[in-house]
Structure 1
Amino acid sequence: MLLWGNAHAAPPDAAREQALVRMVRQDCGSCHGMRLTGGLGPALTREALADVPLESLAAVIFHGRPGTPMPPWRAMLSEPEARWIAQRLLQGFPEEMVKAP
C-alpha cells in the first residue's frame, strides 16, 4: 500500500494534467477501453468504481496487481500523480484536451 507521506504535495500543473489525461486515455485505454468502459481490464467509470476506496485505487495504479496484466506505473508517475488520477477516475475521468491550431 502507499504510505502517502507526500499526499499533500502540490497537484500536477496544467501541462502535466494534460499529459496524465492523455496517458490514461491512451495507455490505460488500451486495456480498459478507449472510453474506459472495459476491455481486457475492468471498466474505470465513476459507476464501476463507486465502491472502491481512493487509496486502494491509487495503490493499484502505482503498484499494479501482481499476477495480472495490470502493470505498476511507478516508473512513470509519482505517488501524488497516481492519487490525482484515482481522484479523477472516481469523479468521472475528463476528456483529453485537444489543442487548437
Structure 2
Amino acid sequence: MSLRAGLAGLLWLLAGRAGAGAPDPERQRALIELLRQDCGSCHGMTLQGGLGPALLPDSLAGKGDSLLVQTILNGRPGTAMPPWRSFLSEAEAAWLVAQLRQGPKAPGSPSP
C-alpha cells in the first residue's frame, strides 16, 4: 500500500468515527480492510494467531463483548496491542467484535 493510499484510508477512518450505530456499507468495507490488514499483521492474515492471539469465534468464546471492545479501543499496555480509539468509535469496535464472533465468511462478504 502506498503512503498516499494509507493516509487516505486513515482519513476515511477518522471521518467515519463521528457516526454511531451500525456503520454504513462503505464504512463496513473500510473496517473489514482495517481488520484484515492492520489487525492481521499481528493476529495473522487469517486471524488464526501470530504475534497476537487468534481472533476466531472459538478463541473469543468466554470473553465478553465489553472486554473485547475496550481492548480494541484502549489496547493492552505492556504488549504489542495498540489503542485504536483515535481511529474507531465504540460502536465501530462493537461492530468489529460482532464480525469476529461470526467468523470467516465467503469471499466478498463484509465479515473477515
TM-score between both structures, scaled by the size of structure 1:
0.82
Identity %: 52
Runs of 4 or more, structure 1, over 4 Å off, are 93-96
One of 81, 86, 103 as aligned partner of 1:70: 81
Q: Deviations over 1:16-66 (max 9, x none)?
A: 000000100000000000000000000000111111111100110011001
Normalized per residue, which structure has more helix?
Answer: 2
Structure 1, unaligned runs of 5 or more? 1-8
For 1:23, the equivalent position in structure 2 comes to 34
Matched residues in 2 for 1:78 and 1:50: separation?
A: 23
The answer (yes or no) to whether the contact 1:62–1:72 under 8 Å persists in 2 is yes
The aligned runs of 1:2-13 (5 Å cut-off) are 9-13=20-24
One of 52, 71, 76 as aligned partner of 1:41: 52
TM-score between both structures, scaled by the size of structure 2:
0.75
Distance verdict in 2 for CA 1:60–1:38, change over 3 Å: same
Q: How many residues align?
A: 90
Higher RCO (Cα < 8 Å, 6 or more apart) = 1
Distance verdict in 2 for CA 1:57–1:96, change over 3 Å: farther
Q: CA RMSD in A?
A: 1.6
Structure 2, unaligned runs of 5 or more? 1-19
